[in-house]
Amino acid sequence: MTKSIPNMFTLGNLFLGMIGIILATTGNTSMAAIMIIIAMLLDGLDGRVARALNAQSEFGKELDSLSDVISFGVAPALIMYTVALTGINDAFAWTVTAIFPMCGALRLARFNVRPGIPGYFIGLPIPAAGGVLATLALFHEEITAPYMIIAMLLLSYLMISSVKYPNFKKIGLPKKAIKFTPIVIIAAVMVAVFFPEQTSKLIFVPLLLYAGYGLKQNFRKLSRKKRQEDRNSDEAYHSSDR
């Protein structure tokens, strides 16, 4: 029974992702975004609970990836599509919407088969990307569709990029604290349900900063590479003059 507890969190994540999809199709985007945020909470807890109970398994790892594709790939993309992309060319809107979960699936597949760097994720984790996209959709009245599309494609790129993002998985969960997790989840759900817009927009800020960290690192890496290339070309030029 203990071995199944982490999988229950993962299935809860998947369940909320599906509810988010249903809410998005009915036009309730605020609650759909809340479902994604609560799914992020469950996704963050399943691994910690598994490590605390020594219940890690390959089955749980694969189930987590499959759930993440739905909850943080398909669901946020559909939320964004319903609020910002329905008024533009259908083929283009469908393509942009599909690219996001496709890049998320590639990110998860790479994570499962390639050894990472201790303390870091390679590429923006799909829960963070999905959280940014789902909460960004709530600003559709202030932000026009072209900017939403740019943000969506940028998040897609960051997921499959080689940018290093800090990994907070080392922050463990004491075994004694597991019994309090249902209370934390219930409290989070109550706050989110009673204040959906405020909660979503509040969560948006730290998620955006996390995604922006990788973007900054990417620009720094490119500028460093360009300086190195310029230095090498200068050295080659001077050596040819001798």
Per-domain boundaries in the chain: 3-197
Nearest to 130 by CA among 103, 150, 166, 109: 103
Q: Is residue 112 predicted with pLDDT exceeding 60?
A: yes
Nearest to 134 by CA among 63, 84, 186: 84
Look up residue 105 and give its two tokens.
């699936």
pLDDT band at residue 165 using 50, 70 and 90 as cut-offs: confident
What pLDDT is stored for residue 175 in this prediction?
A: 52
Q: Is residue 101 predicted with pLDDT exceeding 90?
A: yes
Tell me the pLDDT tens digit for each residue of 44-77.
887 777 777 777 788 888 898 999 999 999 999 9
Look up residue 208 and give its two tokens.
């955006």
Is CATH 1.20.120.1760 the right assignment for the domain spanning 3-197?
Answer: yes
Average pLDDT over residues 144-152: 92
Contacts of 119 (CB under 8 A, 6+ apart): 166, 167, 170
What does the DSSP 8-state code read for residue 171?
S
Q: Distance between alpha carbon 71 and the CA centroid of its chain, in Å?
A: 9
Mean pLDDT score across all residues of the chain: 80
